[in-house]
Structure 1
């Protein structure tokens, strides 16, 4: 079925299910400001596409230019900002707040806060906060274009963890719940506390043993 809103054309595959009180194709701020400056002009946003066999729950807000791949689950109260891409079979959960121009790979799971321009790799889980450094507030809200975090494939950012600035996590790295990351995390490391990095092969804990063994068995793993 094809739906044309006041702001952006929307295509939702016939096999997908959509809940109640959802908004699709909402225009980005710049487009709304242009309309305010030129009243009566027609707002035509970038198209929204939702692939086959998706489940979109209630009170979901999807801005213009968003592309959602096949088989995704978008839970209640999720927000996806403009020109973002969600890979196939990904789950957006717990009211995730995804800002603008975010790229999420296939088979990922995302909750928490994800800042503009972030990249989240395939099969990764993000339950914490991915934020900019915000070191130049004097330049205005739109004046500074800061580097976002990059979460490489098969990595985990635990609940309540915070990744700050243009740092790179992984691949196959684990940021524990409540940890703070302001430095790059090498492949196959565990992060606890504030920037405490432990190679996965040296991790003494039992609870991550199954995950670490799984990483080691992967063909792309760099662990001997």
Structure 2
């Protein structure tokens, strides 16, 4: 087997496709793309121009649901869309219903679950997981092995350091009451979360706020404040030179 390209799939001019790659029915791949070896592109996926997809990556995967899953199965998820000039690393998985805007990098082993949107120029680092129903803005950086829980919102210019952990279930898997209260985190524009920090369900990190590494966030963080500790408490203001308004972007 070298390639399996369905007769209804469309592959643009100048696109190269590696060995043992499957391009399913109705998929569309723009011109100038580089598709690696062993890639699986599921039905009706839309891929823009000049996109690079590395070996053994899966685009448009349908989600699985356990018999006792709290998430309901969804039929007819919309096709996954990858914008122009994206780079998708080795063994990454991007699920059905995702929309990835232009010039996004999704690094090796990252997982982007169903119904997630990722804004242009964002970096999703190696081994990052973005769970379902999340929105990630433009120019964000999600670094190695960070975990973004379902139903979260990260606005533009958000920075998430390596191994940050977030949660959406204050009941920790017990009682029927928890089903009424699932809520991910919100990080407002320019918010930053330091290495190894934990952000508990429903908490809001304010615009230009900073969570110090190793902190546990149990309360909302006001804009332009630095919090630190377990539990995290306000330490001081973010220095003026670090505020978004003073950057040269």
Counterpart Cα distance in 2 of 1:17 and 1:168: 35
State the Cα deviation string for residues 184-222 of structure 1 (Å, max 9, x = none): 000001011122112316xxxxxxx5xx41317459xxx
State the match for 1:184 in structure 2: 220
State the match for 1:166 in structure 2: 202
Counterpart Cα distance in 1 of 2:246 and 2:203: 24
How high is the TM-score relative to the length of structure 2?
Answer: 0.73
Distance 1:11 1:216, change over 3 A: closer
Aligned residues: 199
Q: 2:92 aligned with 1:50, yes or no?
A: no
119, 142, 160: which one pairs with 1:87? 119
Offset of 1:54 from its aligned partner? 0.7
Counterpart Cα distance in 2 of 1:134 and 1:8: 37
State the match for 1:131 in structure 2: 167
Q: Which runs of 5 or more residues in structure 2 are unaligned? A: 1-9, 12-22, 26-40, 68-74
Offset of 1:8 from its aligned partner? 4.3
State the match for 1:23 in structure 2: 58
Q: Which runs of 5 or more residues in structure 1 are unaligned? A: 34-42, 202-208, 220-224
Question: 1:176·1:192 contact (CA, 8 Å) conserved in 2?
Answer: yes
Question: 1:174·1:188 contact (CA, 8 Å) conserved in 2?
Answer: yes
Q: Quick check: which one's helix share is greater?
A: 1
State the match for 1:10 in structure 2: 45
Question: 1:22·1:61 contact (CA, 8 Å) conserved in 2?
Answer: yes
State the match for 2:151 in structure 1: 117
Task: Give the ranges of 4+ consecutive aligned residues of structure 1 lying more than 3 Å apart after TM superposition.
Answer: 1-8, 142-145, 216-219
Counterpart Cα distance in 2 of 1:152 and 1:216: 12
